[in-house]
Amino acid sequence: MPAEAVVRVRELVKTYPARRGRRGAPGTPAVRASDGVSLTVRHGEIFGLLGPNGAGKSTLVRQLTGLLRPDAGGIDVLGHDLVRHPRRAARLLAYLGQESTALDELTVTLAAETTGRLRGLAAAAARRECDTVLDELNLGPLADRPLRRLSGGQRRLACVAAALVGERPLLVLDEPTTGMDPVARRAVWSAIDRRRAEHGATVVLVTHNVIEAELVLDRVAVLDRGRVIACDTPAGLKAVVGEDVRLELVWRDRPPLELPEVAALHRSAVTAGRRWTLRLSQQDARAAVAAVTGGPAFAALDDFTLATPSLEDVYLALGGHTEGLVKA
């Protein structure tokens, strides 16, 4: 295993079996949630798993953290075979899953301190680390409140605090900033960056937020239906679409498909209600804007925007399915 590799996943396969329906309800077919996944995470980087809901991201990290056994393939974390020895994961990494209901009855302080004790810290050390993390994340005013009485964003922030207590060389974070306001998100990423700078921590981040992915990730694996369809830096992935631009058209009510210039655009547009998204060359984008703003189509147009490509555009260009990707 190369010295710079913290995580290596090789040809990972996981299939959820078909289930029979009960009392007349339809059954569910078998689903291959991991379909030959291979990837490497390097020391000190923030490595992302990007894809819409159902792409296989959470299944992959549950295998990575020893909570779910793969049907085939290998997982090495810091030289340890976690397929053969899944219990070692608790000593090697800190995991924040999408659901953390086990902490709901605890106060914010007690959830963080208890996590530290479970990770081997003495009581005084756990208390000190807890105080430091709560201060980092501006959770002091909520320290004595049970998690179940917090708002969704506050509860998620408290779970991040618990995950950060007790130093681990690898942080595996599944949608850590879901429901948070911008201030809380900035606090989370500042705390993570601090651990990278001071302790050399490596981060695996699961997200379906393309904006967050572009801002914080060093490299990203793009998943679709259980497969890695691309892996590179955000800039490297965006080079896939070259110098194309993204044109978004929002219609007031019904797009005037009877107009030839609108019908021509519709054939290459990804539609979501009144919104059309097109990936075009710069020349074609200029022509499209002129067509919809300089003729009878303009009366039906509510808004339009031109932008450089995002990771969502990359996902489309690679043949991915963007239902469930978010841009906020």
pLDDT digits (tens, 9 = 90+) for 12-68: 999 999 888 777 677 788 999 999 999 999 999 999 998 888 889 999 999 999 999
List Cβ neighbours of 205 (8 Å cut-off, separation of 6 or more).
46, 47, 48, 49, 173, 176, 216, 217
pLDDT in tens, 107-161: 999 999 999 999 999 999 999 999 999 999 999 999 999 999 999 999 999 999 9
Rounded CA separation 326/179 (Å): 13
Query: Quick one: pLDDT at residue 309?
Result: 79
Residue 267 identity (one-letter amino acid): R
d(C-alpha 126, C-alpha 146), whole Å: 19
Domain 243-308 belongs in CATH node 3.30.70: yes
Domain residue ranges of the chain, discontinuous segments joined by +: 5-16+30-238, 243-308
DSSP string, 38-99: EEEEETT-EEEEE--TTSSHHHHHHHHTTSS--SEEEEEETTEETTT-GGGHHHHEEEE-S-
Which position has the token pair 């053969």? 84
This prediction has a pTM of 0.81
What architecture is the 5-16+30-238 domain classified under in CATH?
A: 3-Layer(aba) Sandwich (3.40)
- Give strand pairing partners of 275: 250, 272
Q: How confident is the model at residue 2 (pLDDT cuts 50, 70, 90)?
A: very low
Does the pLDDT at position 190 exceed 70? yes
Q: What is the pLDDT of residues 66-98, one digit of tens each?
A: 999 999 999 999 999 999 999 999 999 999 998
323 band by pLDDT with thresholds 50, 70 and 90: low
Sign of CA dihedral 254, 308, 177, 317: positive
